[in-house]
C-alpha cells in the first residue's frame, strides 16, 4: 500500500506541475518579470523550475525510479539551457547524450 501512495503522489505532482507549467506558457510572455516588493524573478527561471518538477515527477512515475526521473530532468533542462545560449550545433546534443549514457551505464553497473 505504501508504494501505491508514493506512486499516486508522483502522479498528482506531475499533473499539478504540468497544469502550472501550461498556464505559465500560455498566459505569460517569456521576457516578463515577476516582481514582489523588492524581489524580481524572471518567468524563465520559474519555467525551468516547473519544467524540472514536471519532468522529475513524470519520469519517476513512469519508470518507478527517482534516479531515472532525475536523469531525464537533467538531460532536458541542460539541453534547453544550451539552446537558450545558442549552442545549437548537433555536436552538443551528441556530447550531452554520450555523457548521460555513460553516467547511466556507470550507475547501473554499480548496482
Per-residue model confidence (pLDDT) at position 25: 93
Domain boundaries, the chain: 2-110
Per-residue model confidence (pLDDT) at position 87: 94
- With beta carbons less than 8 A apart as the criterion, state whether 27 and 50 touch: no
Q: Whole-prediction pTM value?
A: 0.88
Q: What is the pLDDT of residues 10-68, one digit of tens each?
A: 999 999 999 999 999 999 988 888 888 888 888 999 999 999 999 999 999 998 889 99
Residue 2 has pLDDT above 80, yes or no: no
- With beta carbons less than 8 A apart as the criterion, state whether 73 and 86 touch: no
- With beta carbons less than 8 A apart as the criterion, state whether 81 and 52 touch: no
Mention every residue, 6+ apart, whose C-beta is less than 8 A from residue 79.
93, 96
Mention every residue, 6+ apart, whose C-beta is less than 8 A from residue 31.
43, 44
| Among 84, 49, 55, residue whose Cα is nearest residue 68 | 55
Per-residue model confidence (pLDDT) at position 79: 97
Amino acid at each position: 500500500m505504501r508504494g501505491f501512495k508514493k506512486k499516486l503522489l508522483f502522479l498528482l505532482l506531475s499533473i499539478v506541475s504540468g497544469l502550472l507549467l501550461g498556464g505559465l506558457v500560455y498566459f505569460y510572455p517569456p521576457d516578463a518579470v515577476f516582481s514582489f516588493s523588492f524581489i524580481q524573478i524572471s518567468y524563465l527561471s520559474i519555467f525551468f523550475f516547473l519544467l524540472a518538477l514536471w519532468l522529475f515527477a513524470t519520469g519517476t512515475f513512469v519508470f518507478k525510479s527517482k534516479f531515472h526521473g532525475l536523469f531525464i530532468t537533467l538531460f532536458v533542462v541542460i539541453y534547453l539551457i544550451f539552446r537558450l545560449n545558442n549552442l545549437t550545433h548537433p555536436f552538443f546534443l551528441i556530447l550531452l547524450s554520450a555523457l548521460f549514457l555513460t553516467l547511466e551505464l556507470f550507475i547501473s553497473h554499480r548496482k
